[in-house]
Amino acid sequence: MSVLTEKVMMRDWARAGQNTLSVYKQHGGYAQAKKALELSPPQIIDEVKKSQLRGRGGAGFPTGLKWSFVPSIDKNPKPRYLAINADESEPGTAKDRFILENDPHLLLEGIAIACYALNAHTCYIYSRGEFKYPSSVLDKAIADAYADGIFGKKLLGKDFELNVYQVRGAGAYICGEETALLESLEGKKGWPRLKPPFPAVVGLFGCPTVVNNVETIAALPRIFEKGAQWFSDLGLGKSGGTRLVTLSGTVNQPGTYEVAMNTTMKELIFEKEYGNGLPEGRSVKAVIPGGSSAPVLTADELDVKLEFDAFKPLQSMAGSGGIIVMDDTTCMVRCLWRVARFYAEESCGQCTPCREGQPWMTRLLRKIEEGRGTEEDLETLTNVAQAIAPWPPIGLGNTICALGDAGALPVQSFVQKFKKDFLDHISLKRCPYGDKPWGALGEFR
Ligand SMILES: Cc1cc2nc3c(=O)[nH]c(=O)nc-3n(C[C@H](O)[C@H](O)[C@H](O)COP(=O)(O)O)c2cc1C
Ligand code: SF4
């Protein structure tokens, strides 16, 4: 059994006052940044590469490699920026908010290391509009870091100016997409940009910019505390470190957990340290493994390890670590309808396949769920999804940003893996799972 014996990211969350600067410093806080600042920026980037740290925001992209795409000052003398993605809006995901609430200086210390490595003198932390409490904790942490001389003209006493600002979003899921986030930071409507150019070359205000997730950057102090090799060895394959995952749905103990990369989905759901199984008499029907945009898994696919690359053979992804367990009483049509409704609502409307396709899929799913659907509707549903993003997923959709894929790939996976549910609705001309209370669905029924 692969239960994590030593917490890395959540290690200090239970300590009273951990979110204050004084307690953080009492226990060695900012010592790792001081240590890292003795290295040269290329040396820091090499350490991050060696650690096999991968982005925790969704795509699992190698962090050190992303940093190395920032052009050298001789090639591009413009200022550099670091943007921290604290938008955390992927349904089923709640981990970054707990870093902000419980250990904000861990993130700020990571920012000090990253900005020095990237030669960035300004960092913006873009936080989800609804994060009232986490944002207030972060604001205080930033103010305390300035008052203590950590940030400002001399970063930790070094001749390097660093200014850090928190910018609150306004509740749009699309602003978590990195280029929409940059547009929003520039004070514009959060519309994703066409890539290339990628933000590392042309980002905020047209300058080289690295966008990283909160958990990604908060891992840096640990890497410089115990070494890149230690961090890499903690992980599995090409994924260094541990992962924070959010377990929800039909499990006895939902919550945010830190897991080893070799922990399996089954262990996460059933071990008493984590989900502790399902309520009596229930069994797993399906699992969404990485936030609602990740293609669904069946009960036969739970031996998958929670490491980034392990999901590829199952045509799914580790995503943002939002793991949603559905039991045998779940209607997959109704569930997919709910998911589709979300993406239709959140599409920014720039590209036709996404703008028209997501609401179209939502209408078709409603029709099938209400017993009015036909087999032709089911075929149209998968054709519309295919027009947004090809299935099986090849990593390149037909739209400007990956929200298109996020809406289309779940549709394909639900229909492919749970076709019987769809066909039963069509032949019975009703939902076979009975008339359940509509809950959150009620508002748009
Ligand atoms: C529609 C959409 C929403 C996203 N939302 C988030 C988010 O809330 N938080 C996040 O870190 N990344 C989000 N991402 C991924 C970011 O675009 C980006 O890949 C990530 O912030 C990079 O950080 P990382 O390399 O540290 O993972 C989203 C992507 C898309 C397409
Ligand atoms: S895929 Fe959707 S959300 Fe992304 S840019 Fe196009 S319309 Fe906007």
**Residue 3's pLDDT is what?**
65
Distance between CA atoms of residues 71 and 79, nearest Å = 11
- Ligand 2 centre and the CA of 191: distance in Å? 8
Ligand nearest to the CA of 345: 2
State which residues form the domain around 202. Answer: 21-234
The 10 Å Cβ neighbour count of residue 101 is 18
Query: Does residue 31 lie within any of the structural domains?
Result: yes
250 and 348 belong to one structural domain: no
Please state the rounded mean pLDDT for residues 324-331.
95
Please indicate, yes or no, if residue 323 is contained in any of the structural domains.
Answer: yes
- Ligand 1 neighbours, Cβ below 6 Å, are 55-59, 61, 85, 87-90, 174, 176-178, 211-213, 216, 401-403, 406
- Establish if 295 belongs to a structural domain: yes
Give the pLDDT confidence score for residue 394 in this predicted structure: 74
Among 234, 254, 269, identify where a domain stops. Answer: 234
Cβ-based burial of 361 (10 A; exposed 0-12, middle 13-18, buried ≥19): buried
* CATH code, domain with 381: 1.20.1440.230
pLDDT band at residue 396 using 50, 70 and 90 as cut-offs: confident
| End-to-end Cα spacing for the chain | 44
122, β-bridge pairs: 81, 163
Q: How far apart are CA 188 and CA 210, in angstroms?
A: 19
The verdict on 113 and 170 lying in the same domain is yes
How many angstroms separate the alpha carbon of residue 172 from the centre of ligand 2?
13
Closest ligand 1 atom to residue 216 Cα is: 26
User: 436: which 2 tokens?
Assistant: 């359940």
Average pLDDT over residues 99-109: 98
E strands of 103-173, at which residues?
A: 120-127, 163-168
Question: Looking at the CA of 210, which ligand is closest?
Answer: 1
Residues 371 and 390 in one domain: yes
The answer to the question of residue 8 being in a domain is no
* Contact by Cβ (8 Å): 37, 156: yes
If asked whether residues 299 and 350 sit together in one domain, one would say no
359 lies in the same domain as 420: yes
Query: Are 10 and 243 in contact, with CB atoms under 8 Å apart?
Result: no
Residue nearest to atom 1 of ligand 2 (CA): 404
SS (H, E, C) 242-296: EEEEEEEECCCCCEEEEEECCCEHHHHHHCCCCCCCCCCCCCEEEEECCCCCCCC
How many angstroms is it from 11 CA to the middle of ligand 1? 25
pLDDT for residue 269: 98
Q: To test the ligand 2 pocket, which listed residue (179, 352, 355, 384) has its Cβ within 8 A of the most ligand atoms?
A: 355
**CATH number reported for the structural domain that contains residue 51 in this entry:** 3.40.50.11540
| Residue 338 shares a structural domain with residue 365 | yes
Please check whether residues 154 and 83 belong to one and the same domain: yes
Cα(356) to centroid(ligand 2), Å: 10
Distance (Å) from CA 213 to ligand 1 centroid: 7
Q: Phi-psi region for residue 220, left (φ > 0), alpha (ψ -120 to 50) or beta? A: alpha
* pLDDT at residue number 440: 43
Same domain flag for 108 and 222? yes
Mutational test site, ligand 2, from 87, 193, 293, 348, max ligand atoms within 8 Å of CB: 348
Measured between alpha carbons, how far is 430 from 406 in angstroms, rounded to an integer?
Answer: 28
Most ligand 1 atoms within 8 A of CB, residue of 67, 81, 89, 90 to mutate: 90
Within-domain flag for 9: no
Closest alpha carbon to 414 in 329, 255, 264, 294: 294
Considering every ligand atom, which ligand is closest to the CA of 173? 1
The answer to whether residue 11 sits within a structural domain is: no
Give yes or no: residues 90 and 146 share one domain. Answer: yes
The pLDDT > 70 percentage for the chain reads 97
Whether the pLDDT of residue 445 is over 80: the answer is no
Clarify whether residues 104 and 212 are in a common domain.
yes
Structure tokens at 260: 């080893």
User: What's the CA gap between 131 and 74, in Å, rounded?
Assistant: 40
Residues with Cβ within 8 Å of 370's Cβ and at least 6 positions away in sequence, in order, are 431
Q: Is residue 386 in a domain?
A: yes
From 87, 89, 173, 174, the mutation candidate for ligand 2 (largest count of ligand atoms within 8 A of CB) is 174
CATH number at 296 reads: 3.10.20.600
Q: Name residues contacting ligand 2 (CB within 6 A).
A: 174, 192, 347-351, 354-355, 399-401, 403-404
Query: Which residue did the predictor score with more confidence, 441 or 191?
Result: 191
For 113-153, how does the pLDDT look when each residue is reduced to its tens digit (9 = 90+)? 999 999 999 999 999 999 999 999 999 999 999 999 999 99
- State yes or no: pLDDT of 303 exceeds 90: yes
Work out the average pLDDT over 226-233: 96
- d(C-alpha 344, C-alpha 81), whole Å: 32
Number of domains comprising the chain: 3
The CB-based long-range contact list for 9-12 (8 Å cut-off, 24+ gap) reads 9/99, 9/106, 9/215, 9/218, 9/219, 9/222, 9/241, 9/242, 9/244, 9/258, 10/102, 10/244, 10/258, 12/102, 12/103, 12/106
What does the alpha-carbon distance between residue 126 and residue 135 come to, in Å, rounded to a whole number? 10
Neighbours of 356 (CB within 10 A): 16
Question: Of the candidates 294, 327, 360, which is a domain's last residue?
Answer: 327
Specify the residue with its C-alpha closest to ligand 1, atom 22.
Answer: 212
* 278 in the same domain as 395: no
pLDDT tens per residue, range 186-216: 999 999 999 999 999 999 999 999 999 999 9
Query: % helix / strand / coil in the chain, to the nearest 5?
Result: 45, 15, 40
- Continuous segment of H or E residues that includes residue 65: helix 63-68
Does the structure show a pLDDT above 90 at 334?
Answer: yes
Best residue among 194, 350, 396 to mutate for probing ligand 2, ranked by most atoms within 8 Å of CB: 350
- Confirm whether 97 is domain-assigned: yes
B/e letters for 150-176, b = 16+ CB within 10 Å, e = fewer, are bbeeebbeeeeebbbebbbbeebbbbb
Residue 343 above 70 pLDDT? yes
- For residues 201 and 66, state if they share a domain: yes
Atom of ligand 1 lying closest to residue 402 CA = 31
Of 270, 301, 327, the residue at which a domain comes to its end is: 327
CB count in 10 Å sphere of residue 187: 7
Task: Tell me which residue of 195, 10, 175 sits closest to 83, measured CA to CA.
Answer: 175
For residue 189, the ligand closest to its alpha carbon is: 2
